[in-house]
Amino acid sequence: MNKIYDFLIIGGGVTGSSIAYGLSKNSNSSIAIVDAYDNTYRASVGNYGLTWMQSKGYKQPFYARLSEQVSYDWSEFRNELEEKSQIDIEYIKTGGLTFCHTQDEFAKLEKKISNLNSYYQHDSSKTVMLDAKELKKIYPGLGESIVGAAYNKQDGLLNPLHLLKAQLKLAQKQKVEYISHFSTATIDKSNDEYKVTSQDGRIIRAKQLVMAAGLSNMPLAAQLGINVPLEPQKGHILVAQKVPPLDLIPCFNVRQTKSGTLLLGVSNEDVGFDINIDEGIVSNILKKSIKILPMLKDVNLIRSWSSLRIIPQDGKPIYDTIDNTLHVITTHSAITLAPLHANEVSKSILNGKMPDNLKDFSLDRFNEKEIV
């Protein structure tokens, strides 16, 4: 392939497609996006589809405020995507709940929420703690053992597959070349040009490189002498049968899709790159979900699977531009931060520099820790 693209994006998941859409709507640059095979570690496979603010940025004020900012951008971004793509991404700002099973859990969560609320710029952003009596008013069918929950009205949900489809459709409509089954093996830079070679020997050249390949960003960036400290975190998702609308406020334990399907979660497992189903974890998810919503004991479980989340070492997103041509984008919150990626981050990539308000998310923070 002799063509030299202005930008090559490695990674065709939610983050990569957000960047592809943003770069192509804000420039006339030649852009390609490469996506690997289905058997690679895909965070999008395990996506629960929540746009979530209330738990992000504990003791991290810049991350908390960034999450707050994006929560107000979602309605406009939804309208933009749906009008242009004619795809319903099923976004609703429903509010979100984090349930507590014990008084000790409630007290610990209340302390965490107090820290997060102290960072927010708007009173309407603040999370409130609800006791069981208050909770039952907004969550019919609540189990008797639940002592309370945190509630934030800025949180919501969407269909992550529809979001991915809409962004890729618009990117391709805007002349982005989508190259599938391209598993990146090596990256070389010489003469102000990146040469990216796939495992089967195909070569793509580009003037600038955007790394949005999830956990693969770590070994790929290392080829260029760059440390991107990431950790895999395994999570299970369970799918139950379709039921009539329950008008559930979503939480990590149970949510209902627009079609009526119930999704159950969630687990956070530090087990390396193992994605095998753990029957013990599945059983625990079911037990917790039934405690929250007892009617689930009569619902049939259809299937379950697990996947790996992308967790930067300190939990915060990574946004960095190196030598004006290499752009590293890594985050656990690809869904929540999609409006940011398609707008401010993409414009910053085009400018060759991340803005001052994203400096807290650069790779420099890890080097500073090493020096200290």
- What are the phi and psi torsion angles at 182 (to 5°)? -115, 100
Q: What band does 45 get if pLDDT is binned at 50, 70 and 90? A: low
| Average confidence score pLDDT of the chain | 94
Residue 369 has what pLDDT? 47
- Residue 256 Ramachandran class (φ > 0 left, ψ -120 to 50 alpha, else beta): beta
Round to whole Å and give the CA distance between 95 and 52: 9
Burial 33-55 (b: 16+ CB within 10 A, else e): bbbbeeeebbbbbbbbbbbbbbb
pTM of structure: 0.95
CATH code for 4-48+161-229+314-371?
A: 3.50.50.60
Please give the structure tokens belonging to residue 371.
């020096």
Round to whole Å and give the CA distance between 319 and 22: 15
371 or 160, greater pLDDT: 160
Enumerate the CATH 3.50.50.60 domain ranges in the chain, comma separated: 4-48+161-229+314-371
What number is the average pLDDT over the span 57-69? 96
Residue 48 has what pLDDT? 86
Peptide bond into 254 cis (omega under 30): no
Is residue 124 over pLDDT 50?
yes
Residue 41 has what pLDDT? 62
Amino acid at site 349: I
Helix extents (H) in 72-215: 74-85, 103-117, 132-138, 160-173
Element (H, E) at 285: helix 279-292
- Which of 184, 248, 130 lies closest to 8, judged by CA? 184
Q: Are 183 and 12 in contact (CB under 8 A)?
A: no
Residue 266 has what pLDDT? 84
Q: What band does 42 get if pLDDT is binned at 50, 70 and 90? A: low
Is residue 371 over pLDDT 50?
no
Enumerate the CATH 3.30.9.10 domain ranges in the chain, comma separated: 230-312
Amino acid at site 300: N
pLDDT tens profile 181-208: 999 999 999 989 999 999 999 999 999 9
Residue 242 has what pLDDT? 96
Q: What band does 372 get if pLDDT is binned at 50, 70 and 90? A: very low
Q: Are 200 and 186 in contact (CB under 8 A)?
A: no
Report the CATH superfamily, name and number, of domain 230-312. D-Amino Acid Oxidase, subunit A, domain 2 (3.30.9.10)
Residue 204 has what pLDDT? 97
pLDDT tens profile 239-268: 999 999 999 999 999 999 999 999 999 899
